[in-house]
Chain A
């Protein structure tokens, strides 16, 4: 493990979205001790907060309009400050995308852990989303590959030969099989579109 555990927290910016309250000072103090720059806001988060590394937000009195992004779409880790554990408030806090939580009254405890947990959850959520997008695109690429193979099959190749031909074409073009298949399918559609009258019957 070569990762520096402090994960560049030094000099990171945290916004605290909470009405002025003595217990916010405990949180601000601890963030300062850990090495973060602290800014406070209430009731709306200014657009500048989009640059922040962390957002701490009040789950008791908060509402959607405070944030310059849609619920769950924060571009940074979010930490809910929870006082009331009523289900409605907790649901809202989760919909906003809590990556970690701190219970009120805030003190010198749990802040460092919340930062690390929030960042880890945020990173994991982003990685999962990226993976899902990649898998989805590969899933749709599989259909394209099948179609490309079918083009060769229609021109008289066996399925194995067709697949091999596709692989060789990809190698020849120095692209992935998925990309090669995409091009072949596109060309084939174009041929069919422009040369409508002169369709070659592959059989």
Chain B
């Protein structure tokens, strides 16, 4: 007999990054379906859902509404870092836990957030360590104008400089903005070896389309490789053929050419991870997340999340989009997250020298 545990879902079904949040939302509901159908799991999840419509100011009140209006303590949601930072005070005040299954820029370790996707030592640094020796060291950075875009550029800047490379320029666009003339003319003039694209949603698709036009000119035919840590299978359709050749880093790429991608998969896995933590422990959903993890570890179960900083262990996979599907180029085995980038030891196989400058 399954016991019913309430959970919350806080993901936008419309707005500038709806493709991403729909993938995440579908993943959560797939996970819930699987858990509820599994006779070996003694938990069944009941969902209370709120839709912030992609509007930043809606996240905190709706998070509060879930925590106060239902029995749910665990909420699956948020895509942007800005929205995650909006809900953390609500989680603290009303004793909630956020399962956050998308990549982010690091430099955070809230006791109330399960960081289930990957952070820069698991996506951006392996990607640059592949790109710098392979593509060249002259980089151009574009990103959405908020913390994800800024911090990805900042980390990239340091890594590129440490490898003796050069950042030729960096530009930021408001989320959803598609005014790209100045960026394209920059790229035309500077001819970078690669472009790190940390644009989100519609801006990203518009950028890829404009860049594809530029690449039709003979001079740029086989150059201007685009790198991304947030472009996954769920955006292939929206971006269309213009995304061909893009190289992405993430913990999971779909083997069968499907279009769910890691946003969907990590959301699905998050639901399973919670079910495993609650398995056989009535009332455990009320416990702090670190305690849940320690209990699981003590009973000999392995957990995806690290009980110290609540970030998931993840492999780093680098894949290129070819003929509408991602093909793996390189894979680093599952590694511990390093959210503050303070672990000195770097993977030996990076092929580029890391200089620590104090």
CB neighbours (8 Å) of B161 from chain A are 1-2
- Assess A8 versus B343: contact at CB under 8 Å? Given A2-B162, A30-B109: no
A interface size (C-beta, 8 A) = 23
Q: How far is the CA of A26 from the CA of B109 in the complex (A)?
A: 12
Contact of A35 among B107, B110, B155, B343 (CB under 8 A): B343
Contact B339 A33 (CB under 8 A): yes
Which of A1, A4, A7, A29 lies at the interface centre, i.e. has the most chain B CB atoms within 10 A of its CB? Answer: A4
CB contacts (< 8 Å) of B162 on chain A: these are 2, 4
Say yes or no: is B40 at the interface (Cβ < 8 Å to chain A): no
- Alpha-carbon gap, A8 to B308, bound state (A): 20
Question: What is the minimal beta-carbon distance from A53 to any residue of chain B, in angstroms?
Answer: 11
Which among A3, A8, A9, A33 has the greatest number of chain B C-beta atoms within 10 A? A33
Interface flag for B340 (CB, 8 Å): yes
Contacts of A109 in B (CB 8 A): 110
Please tell me if A92 contacts chain B, counting CB pairs below 8 Å: no
- Quick check: is A112 within 8 A (CB to CB) of the other chain? yes
A10 contacts which of B107, B157, B343 (Cβ < 8 Å)? B343
Contact digits for B314-356, partner A, Cβ 8 Å, 1 yes 0 no: 0000000000000000000000001111111000000000001
A-B CB contact pairs (8 Å), 20 listed: A2-B161, A2-B162, A3-B158, A3-B358, A4-B162, A4-B356, A4-B357, A5-B155, A5-B158, A9-B340, A10-B342, A10-B343, A10-B344, A26-B111, A29-B308, A30-B109, A34-B109, A35-B340, A35-B342, A108-B111
Instruction: Given A9-B342, A10-B342, A34-B109, output 20 extra A-B contacts at Cβ < 8 Å.
Output: A1-B158, A1-B161, A2-B161, A3-B358, A4-B158, A4-B356, A4-B357, A4-B358, A10-B343, A10-B344, A11-B342, A11-B344, A29-B111, A32-B308, A33-B309, A33-B340, A35-B343, A108-B109, A108-B111, A112-B107
Residues of B within 8 A of A (CB): 92, 107, 109-111, 154-155, 157-158, 161-162, 308-309, 338-344, 356-358
Interface residues of A, Cβ cutoff 8 Å to B: 1-11, 26, 29-30, 32-36, 107-109, 112
